[in-house]
Amino acid sequence: MAKAQTTALVDPAWLAARLDDPKVKVIEIAVEKLDSYNVGHVPGAQAWIWKDKLWDARMREFPSAKDFATLCRTAGIGNDTTVVFYGENVEFGYYGWWVFRYLGHNDVRMLDGGKKRWVAEGRALSTAVPTVAPARYKTAARRRERMRAKLPQVRRSLEKKGVVILDNRSDLEFTGQSNNLPGKPDFGAERYGRIPGAKQLHFVDLLNPDETLKSPAEIAKLARARGASPDKQIICYCRRSHRAALVLFALTELCGYKNVRSYDGSWTEWGTAVGVPIEK
């Protein structure tokens, strides 16, 4: 397990000791269906399909402050609740962490290694769907805009020194041979390639075989090899920003980087937008 510089990364032992704590809520982020959750999940975990819960229902944007407060209340999450995420696919859990932090919730954590490590350590899974009592949630005051980059900012950064763009996709995506993960249907953008000048840092390179994060020293070495040192402004992107969220977490929470943003439009936006350059 990587040794976190903050309390944002927790291990199964930490979570197991707090499963009965009403101030701790566990969320499994599902990709499209709840099949994996229904087979077995961390006891007490709720299941959210990422787009259903973490996007606005009417546009490609995140929930408004009002809608986010409603979501939290319904899930039994109060302003002082510790929310622990893990993903059906590891990167989706980190996306949940990123969205919650961006939308203003303070105590958000990641289960290092997720369900895979939980099971590997001999801990039991549950098929029971928890009954959740609604909570009070005061609307968060502000979004943490320093965590997010939008297309105009990314485009302006192409002409700036001191900015490093990290492409967290696979080799096939980075080299313009595919617009999706290996083995997945090839769709997601009109064009193939990458943002000009981007350096590839595939998100899986930051993970151990058990899907825990590598040590801060290992992660920092990988980042620095791409010119992404702590004194730079760093923008991470992938296809829809799940993988980018994992890299942002690793750099900020483990390595102490202060200026890292996720471009959540990522390649699905950049590769389709009119008038933006690409590179192969």
Catalytic residues: 238
For 153, the token pair is 């900012």
For 220, the token pair is 């920092």
**What distances in angstroms separate CA 216 from CA 31, 78, 172, 251, one per listed residue?**
28, 31, 27, 8
Cα–Cα distance, 65 to 164 (Å, whole number) = 31
In the chain, where do the E strands start and end? Answer: 9-10, 24-30, 46-49, 82-87, 108-111, 148-149, 163-167, 199-200, 233-237, 260-263
For 280, the token pair is 């192969």
Element (H, E) at 70: helix 65-74
